[in-house]
Amino acid sequence: MNGAMQLPTPPASALAEPCAVVYDLRIDGCSDKSYEDAARFSDRLLAEIDLCAATATHAYSEYVRAQRQEPPRSLGEYAIDLLTLGLVVRRYGRAAEDSPAWAIKLARWLFRLRSKQVWIKPVADLLRAALVRLFLLPPMERGPREGTWPLERLPRLIAWLQATGEFEQEALRIEQWRSFFGTLPSPEALHWIETASYLFDWFEREAEQSLGAYAKGVPGFLATEYASRGCREDQIFCGKSPAEYLLAMVAAEIMNQGLRAEFDRTPVRAVLVPACLRGEQAARCLARVSGVDMICTACDPACAVNRITRRMRKVGAQVYLVPHSTGFSRWLERWQHAPGVGVVAVACLLNILPGGYEMRSRGIAAQCVPLDYPGCRKHWRRKGVNTSVNENRLVQITTTPAIRRESAVNVL
């Protein structure tokens, strides 16, 4: 879309600093081209996966529908599942294999404990951060494991993913692949694991050439801001490679396509936006809080959330503020059993794939729009920068040719 309305760009002085933004979807101040590039590359990716692994993705799709009672998904989504398998094997397999078993077990237990007991969360997170820093991260410095990944090692890889607390949804997908591989002769299962690894290597190489400009800030961030942080709970989340950002770009395109027909049938829309869009206005925000809901009250005419809320209201959609990605699941619970509601989630690129997986698993008709760039203090910047989203893209994703009811906002 030419002439898309964009939020104000951070001051030039801020962008001139090293690692001011980790990824940036904007070209000449606009992110329209990033969506075109992601769509174009997704076609290439799906063609490559179909060429190399069509037999596996079709058999896997039939297995999860018949044996796991999973509702049908698009073939593109099953292809992303296979690529996710390749990602975790290549990127995290060595760490899972070389990390002490006791450290993995203890980190998993702490993560489950902090999820159930809110009062112990600070202590559990501190202990988990130390375990990750001392025992789970160091093996990653040795690089990917060479040779065939043994099928019997998949449970350990799944346990490692769960121990980090950053791959809950991905671990569920890898568990499904592990279960599926159990129905195959061992040589065939090993062949498909090798194929998944090859496909991720292909993706990493080709995506860098086609989309790498959008994640060019990642190496600088890892070498400076990230390297100086020490022991933190988000060290694996923030330490992800450029390829994982680029995979999120492509996954957003493919998952949106797979869910579009279902989303178009919903008469009511809800839009979830991260609180970081408020930027400097956050400290003065007068959003109305009711339970888990945070609703904009238009206290600041210049606030991006205020502007988005007004635009969404015109198309019959309600906007909700999500303070942090950790609260995302709470917002989804209300719509899990509301098939008439379509949910649009705006999120940082690294939250796109797990968020899409969770909405899909909950049966929510959803779409996603990535932030043009991240800037929250929690993960990316000590002082933080104002973030933005392509508002025209958000309106386009949210609306459909169907006439929206004027009362839709009040239905939620």
Mean pLDDT of residues grouped by 10 in the chain (412 residues)?
36 39 91 96 97 97 94 94 96 92 94 82 89 88 72 93 93 96 95 96 97 95 87 89 97 94 92 84 77 78 89 92 70 80 93 91 93 84 79 90 39 42
Contact yes or no for 93/136 (Cβ under 8 A): no
3-state secondary structure 53-120: HHHHHHHHHHHHHHCCCCCCCCHHHHHHHHHHHHHHHHHHHHHHHHCCHHHHHHHHHHHHHHHHCHHH
Contact yes or no for 168/162 (Cβ under 8 A): yes
- Please tell me the predicted confidence (pLDDT) of residue 352: 92
Dihedral sign for Cα 229, 230, 234, 237, please.
positive
- Please tell me the predicted confidence (pLDDT) of residue 3: 37
- Please tell me the predicted confidence (pLDDT) of residue 140: 80
Contact yes or no for 364/343 (Cβ under 8 A): yes
List the one residue out of 70, 46, 45, 48 whose CA is nearest residue 60: 70
Domain boundaries, the chain: 32-245, 265-411
CATH architecture of the domain with residue range 265-411: 3-Layer(aba) Sandwich (3.40)
Q: How far apart are CA 48 and CA 65, in angstroms?
A: 24
- Please tell me the predicted confidence (pLDDT) of residue 30: 93
Residue 362 exposed, middle or buried by CB count within 10 Å (0-12, 13-18, 19+): middle
* 277 residue type, one letter: L
- Please tell me the predicted confidence (pLDDT) of residue 407: 36
List the one residue out of 397, 380, 152 whose CA is nearest residue 253: 397
